[in-house]
Amino acid sequence: MSTTFPWSTNPRIQRAAQRMRAGGVVAYPTEAVWGLGCDPNNAEAVARLLALKSRPWEKGLILVAARIEQFAPLVERLDRGMQQQLQETWPGPVTWLVPTAGLVPEWISGRFDSVALRVTDHPVAAGLSLAFGGPIVSTSANPAGKPSARNALEVRRYFKDRLDDVTPGRVGNRTQPSQIRDLITGDILR
């Protein structure tokens, strides 16, 4: 992925990031499906996102970033071997479960002592994270029990006017959501 992240300066991405900073929920393309995102530190925004999906908070949510440095408080606490594992798979389609170390709100980690993190290689998702100024929530753009949206039209069909913005862009070339791996055990969970 380019280190310049041209999408981060796109006016529509800038608008979507501003809406997230104001507590909004936006849709954006990721590696395989469209995602819903918001400010992970805004409990009301996360609650609204979960309500849109009919998703229980206990399941937890994924955070995506453009660069590993955006996860510094969580990653710096890990031993060098674990940091190396992350660096070898990021940016890319691997989501890692990392210990929260008490640094992640419960509305993100759910009932778990770990948080799901991914440094995305999708240019729009990465650009949105940079424009926002940090990691963003990433969960598939679909109500519970429905197939994940693969284009903006499907997003609009699912959520009508209940989103604060829908970014431009298309999903990446992957056909499956990211692999989820536990950093402590090495287990592959998805």
pLDDT of residue 6: 82
Strand-pairing partners, residue 109, are none
Report the chain's mean pLDDT, rounded to a whole number.
95
* Res. 2: pLDDT tops 70: no
Q: Calculate helix-pair angle for 123-132, 11-21, nearest 10 degrees.
A: 50
Model confidence pTM above 0.85: yes
CATH number of 6-164+177-182: 3.90.870.10
pLDDT of residue 122: 96
Strands 136-140 and 62-65, by their bridges, are antiparallel
Query: Which is it for the CA torsion 2, 3, 4, 6, positive or negative?
Result: positive
pLDDT of residue 4: 55
* Res. 1: pLDDT tops 60: no
CB neighbours of 136 closer than 8 A, spacing ≥ 6?
A: 20, 37, 38, 39, 40, 63, 64, 65, 128, 129
In this predicted model, what pLDDT tens digit does every residue of 31-76 receive, in sequence order?
999 999 999 999 999 999 999 999 999 999 999 999 999 999 999 9
